[in-house]
Each structure stands twice: as C-alpha cells, then as structure tokens.
Structure 1
C-alpha cells in the first residue's frame, strides 16, 4: 500500500510544474544568440519509492527497463504539426528533449534544450515553449510504464512559465512572478505540497545565466554572481518560495 501511494505521489509530482529538482541554464552570447537548457531531476522521489518497493516488483520488466532517449521536437507527426503556427514549428525544430530513466538506480531525468539567434527568439521561447509542448502531447512520453492508472490522466508538461512574466533584451534578462497565477497554482496543488513538506522533501530550483559581459545589477539579494560577474546563479527551495514568491524575481542588467 505504501509503495502504491509513493508511486502515485511520484507521478502526480511529475506532472506539476513546481515539483522537481530543476536547473535552468541560459547561455547568452555577445552576438545575441543563446542556448537554453532545462533539466528536471526526480531522483529523490524514485529513491524513496525504491526503498519501499518489494523485491518481486524490482524484478519485473517495467522496473528494470533502462531508457536514454533523445528526440528532436520538430520530428512530430504531420497530424500534430498541423496544430502549430510557423513560429511554433520553428521553435520546436530548434528544441530537443532527452529522457533518462533507470528505476532500479533511482534515476529519472528529463532535459529540454533550445537554441536561437536573438533576444527576440529567447523571449518567444520563454512565453510559448510550455504550451507548445502541451499542444504536441510531449507529456505523454514522460509517464513511466507500470504506474497505476489512477496516478495518470492527462500529463501536465513542465515549464509552461505561466507563473512568470519575462523581459529579454540585449541588455536585460528579467523574471517576475505573476502573483495571482502563482497563488492559484499553490491553492490547486496545496495537498500535494503540504504532503511533500510533511515528508521533509526539498524541491530545489536553480537558475543559471551565463552572460556575455559583467552584470551591473541582479535585483535579488539571494542571487550569487561569479568573481567576474558573468555568471548569475539563483538557488531556492520551491516549497519555501510558495510562501514568499517574491524570492523568485530577478532582473539582471548587463
């Protein structure tokens, strides 16, 4: 029963945008081009599942299967491509998803990457990538086999960025929480978040921005700048940020 509960919790957590250990990395170049990488790690939850999983289950094919898959998101079937605008298709062609899964070793990582040529493209990516993932049903590939049906349903893909407004220019990278949207998400998923807090879980969010020149200001006292001021790092526990969403704001001027 406990194993089943943890499996359900794990999958529910997988489909919540704030329920991962997440690292976002943005490499901004002097010519305006960029590379964005999102990495999601569910290892601590799977390790908890492993500790309570019977040996008989650990011998099953679903449990022992190891996956490491890289897919270009522009390779979707024509039937799905019809749903996208030309701009969305161009963004998806510049984007990849990688899924690594090894239940026995407690590994479940999902990575998204995107490259573009300008601040305008990065701004478009931040506003539209999550919704495009959902439209392309990318979330369907994230649900592990062998999970109880009651834990499933329609997967909600991460990184919709619906809780944030972004401003991206050749000299500014800014993120600001939409307080009303954030409060709505918190209320909707309150039971799950309270359960995770009760289990002493931490959901670490790390944002790293590598700049083409030194930062002049960062707009967040918890952020850390490298010695040459070209790397911005903000690391927070999302479960703590639920009560202080302003901690998620930053404005990097460089």
Structure 2
C-alpha cells in the first residue's frame, strides 16, 4: 500500500508540470454561515504518465494494477502536519479525502471535502490556508511515504500547489459578500519563483488546468462584477470556468465581487 501512495503522491505533488487535468471547486453556504468546501480533481490523464514513469511491469509488481478506492480522514494525519498552525488544524480536522485509482480504466480522482463552521473558516479555505497548502502535502508524505526523503523526487520537477495560486488573492467572505482581489505583492513573489518559468512555458504550449468554481448561495445574488461569472435562473448558484494557468499572466481577470 505504501508503494501505491509513493507513486500517487509523487504524481499528485508534481501534477502541474505533466498534463492537463480538471479541478471542480464546490462551495455551499447555508443561511447560518456554515457549509462545505469541496475540491474534486480528475487526473485520469496522468495515468499514462505514471505508466511511462514507472513502467507497466513495475506498476503490476507493486500492486498498482489493482483497483484502489479509499477515504482518508484528515484528523488521522494532522499530528504530522508540522507546518500547519493550530488554527489550520482546527479548520481541517473534520475534513476527508476520497481517492480512487484504476490503472486499467485510467481513473485517478481525488475528492476533498471540508465542512466549515462559519464564514471566517470559508474565507481561510478560499485563501488557500487549508488543505491545498504545503502543510497538508507534507502530512501526506509523512503518512504514506518516507518523511526523511525530502521534497525532491528524481526526474520530477518541483512546483507550486493549489494554495500558492489561491494565495495571490485577498479574500473577504461576510454575510452577503464574497470578494476576491489581487494582492500584487504576493503575485509578484509567486511569479518570481524559479519554477514559475517552467509553468509559463507550459502555458505558452497550450497546457490547461480547467478550473470550475461553483458557489451555492443561501439567497439570490444581487450583483456580480465579472463577466466570467454565470448565474443560475434563481441566481442562487454562481459558476465560474477558466484555465487556472491564465492567472500567471492576468490575475485581475479572475478577481470578483459577489453581493447576495
């Protein structure tokens, strides 16, 4: 089982550099300010990369020709998340992740589900301060891999995680308001990281990370200010679809204000 996660986590951590994949961010806000934050990642196209990276026979030898379907409770791994603050651990403790993998059917999915208790919790999740950051990534490596092995994997580039992309925005979530504005200082710091040159090369070559955000509001939206935002007929569901990599060139395109 540990060898399975060795391959899975190596691929997942480096996912930005190897193929197209899809992310669906689903947010539900209830009238009392509680709700759920769900991220669904479909990385089926990475199966071919794994077959190339490890080889068919090696995958079979390590049992990766079997079908895997498992649920990981975050509360069982937070003790090893040394880079997470007590506040972040409290935010994540009731979360879970469902992982499905089937080499034969080219299925590779990771669905993360985190309930939050108030709008401040949602604000932190949307800001990349929860399960998308390096603290959780390191916890996964410590739980299923070799904590002494370090971050680098032979032949695999090191890249940013989802929290890095979310972190370039200042997010405000209040009763009746969701706002996301570009933090120019954080954006500049991200784009100046050495590995971002590789990311821009992928962008220019047509690479896409298809990202969809769906927000279910407790009441109808009154006003939105971004043309990429689509409203349902009753105006209670907000949907945004875009290529996440476009954030590198024009992050302001994905800033928005939603009043409801």
TM-score (norm 2): 0.75
Cα offset for 1:245?
1.3
Cα offset for 1:248?
1.5
Distance in structure 2 (CA, Å) of the matches to 1:48 and 1:130: 25
Cα offset for 1:180?
3.4
Q: Do the aligned partners of residues 39 and 130 (structure 1) sit closer, same or farther apart at CA in structure 2, a change above 3 Å counting?
A: same
Distance in structure 1 (CA, Å) of the matches to 2:13 and 2:206: 17
Q: Structure 2: state its 5+ residue gaps.
A: 1-7, 147-151
Cα offset for 1:167?
0.2
Distance in structure 2 (CA, Å) of the matches to 1:11 and 1:122: 24
Residue aligning to 2:183: 178
Asked if structure 2 preserves the Cα contact closer than 8 Å seen for 1:47 and 1:105, the reply is no
Cα offset for 1:135?
5.7
Residue aligning to 1:137: 138
Asked if structure 2 preserves the Cα contact closer than 8 Å seen for 1:12 and 1:152, the reply is no
Asked if structure 2 preserves the Cα contact closer than 8 Å seen for 1:11 and 1:143, the reply is no
Residue aligning to 1:234: 240
Q: Which moved more, 1:182-191 or 1:63-72?
A: 182-191
Q: Do the aligned partners of residues 207 and 99 (structure 1) sit closer, same or farther apart at CA in structure 2, a change above 3 Å counting?
A: same
SS in structure 1 of the partner of residue 162 of structure 2: coil
Paired residues for 1:204-219 under 5 Å: 204-219=210-225
Cα offset for 1:153?
8.6
- How many residues align? The count is 242
Asked if structure 1 preserves the Cα contact closer than 8 Å seen for 2:28 and 2:215, the reply is yes
Residue aligning to 1:76: 77
Distance in structure 1 (CA, Å) of the matches to 2:39 and 2:63: 26
Residue aligning to 2:33: 32
Asked if structure 2 preserves the Cα contact closer than 8 Å seen for 1:130 and 1:157, the reply is no
State the Cα RMSD in Å: 3.7
Identify which of 154, 159, 163 aligns with 1:159. Answer: 163
| 1:107 is aligned to 2:107 | yes
Cα offset for 1:244?
1.7
Q: Do the aligned partners of residues 45 and 77 (structure 1) sit closer, same or farther apart at CA in structure 2, a change above 3 Å counting?
A: closer
Residue aligning to 2:5: none
Asked if structure 1 preserves the Cα contact closer than 8 Å seen for 2:230 and 2:240, the reply is yes
Cα offset for 1:186?
3.6
TM-score (norm 1): 0.76
Residue aligning to 1:4: none
Cα deviation per residue 1:190-235 (whole Å; 9 max; x = unaligned)? 3432453465332111111001111011221111111111111110
Distance in structure 2 (CA, Å) of the matches to 1:171 and 1:58: 50
Q: Do the aligned partners of residues 109 and 28 (structure 1) sit closer, same or farther apart at CA in structure 2, a change above 3 Å counting?
A: same
Residue aligning to 2:208: 202
Asked if structure 2 preserves the Cα contact closer than 8 Å seen for 1:76 and 1:136, the reply is no
Q: Do the aligned partners of residues 170 and 163 (structure 1) sit closer, same or farther apart at CA in structure 2, a change above 3 Å counting?
A: same
Q: Structure 1: state its 5+ residue gaps.
A: 1-6
Q: Which moved more, 1:206-215 or 1:185-194?
A: 185-194
